Amino acid sequence: MVRIGLLILLVGIGWLTADLGHVEGLQYSGAYLLLSSLLLAVGLYGSTHGIDRAEARQHRRLILLAVTVGVLLKAAFVAGVVYLVSGDPRAVILAVAVAQIDPLSVASVMSDNRLSDRARTILGAWSSFDDPVTVILAFYAVSLTRPVEGGLSVSYLADLGLNALFAIAVYAVWRLVRKAPPVLSYLAAAGAVATAAWSSLMLGIAAAGLYLRLPDARWLNRSVSAAFALSAFLMGLLLVGGANLMMGVLLGLSAFAAQMLAALVLTHGLPVIDRIHLGLAQQNGITAVILALAFERDFPGFVAVIAPAILTVNLVYVVANRAADTWGGRHGRAAARPSDR
């Protein structure tokens, strides 16, 4: 709940700044485009950097399904609902922008005893892995709206090749600095993030987070938190023209329902209580915010929909999980009660 309040506060400050300062057309500046790419690169690197690879391997099949079938299932469900209700041609891109689970928000509840060890492992890896997957899917979805010289397939292959080369180069650097003084690891990470932002190699920087690990992640966590704060402020600047509340609420409710559907399909065989908590795990944060910033240039009014959608998702998360906790507590007490016979 604190994070929701902070998001509203920062967006409000941004909106007030834009209103008083008469800020307009920010999304069309080159500096804005580079800044939004940098914020996205920081968020993606932070997402994959926090993955516990040993724990993720224990549930690799479920996690693989979640970030492939699950992401596509959620995006298709949300896009279908939004398009059927509104007829908005941006439905697919809006859906992908909110399809991921925010790993920063998830991290804040990982110590909660409501979750079993198994559910914590699955949720932590799920939220970290599907972040980069949805970002790449979002950018590819946007490319479908643009004419591409040589065909989309050639463009995709070229983009994947560049990302792979970047990831290999970062791996080579990591091999050189991993046993060197820690400052070189920090410089390597900062250089990789800056290069990815400049070249839009988001899949490459997401992959780099899996092996380019920092000796102390506190600076990275602070950087990601700062990126979230700045992103929320920028979102507020772009909301000076108003918010599309009806579309935003529809998108947010659809995203939350999509997570419940994906969890129901993918978690067969897990205990009921784990399936419930995984189904109610949808939260949106830095990635959805930054995708809204990145796409506002191509789709004016994108932020006006995404902002209330993020708020809707996070408010529903709080209400739904409190209701589930109440039900779980009553169910547990009833099960522990001796038979009346």
Mean pLDDT, range 228-240, rounded to an integer: 85
Q: Is the pLDDT of residue 319 over 70?
A: yes
| Residue 268: count of CB within 10 angstroms of its CB | 9
pLDDT band at 249; cut points 50, 70, 90: very high
The torsion angle over the Cα atoms of residues 112, 113, 118 and 119, rounded to 10 degrees, is -50
What pLDDT was estimated at residue 136? 76
pTM of the predicted protein model: 0.78
Tell me: the pLDDT tens digits for 170-184? 999 999 988 889 899
What pLDDT was estimated at residue 339? 46
Q: What ranges do the domains of the chain cover?
A: 9-18+25-139+216-324
Q: Is the pLDDT of residue 235 over 80?
A: yes
What pLDDT was estimated at residue 291? 85
Q: Is the pLDDT of residue 108 over 80?
A: no
Distance of CA 82 to the CA centre of its chain: 19
Residue 67: partners with Cβ closer than 8 Å, 6 or more residues away = 126, 129, 130, 133
What pLDDT was estimated at residue 256? 94
Mean pLDDT of all residues belonging to the chain: 81
Q: What are phi and psi of 196, to 5 degrees?
A: -60, -40
The torsion angle over the Cα atoms of residues 260, 265, 267 and 268, rounded to 10 degrees, is 130
Q: Say if residues 324 and 171 touch (Cβ distance below 8 Å).
A: no
pLDDT band at 144; cut points 50, 70, 90: low
* Percentage of residues of the chain with pLDDT beyond 70: 86
* Helices and strands: H and E segment counts in the chain: 16, 0
Q: Is the pLDDT of residue 258 over 50?
A: yes
More confident residue, 224 or 152: 224
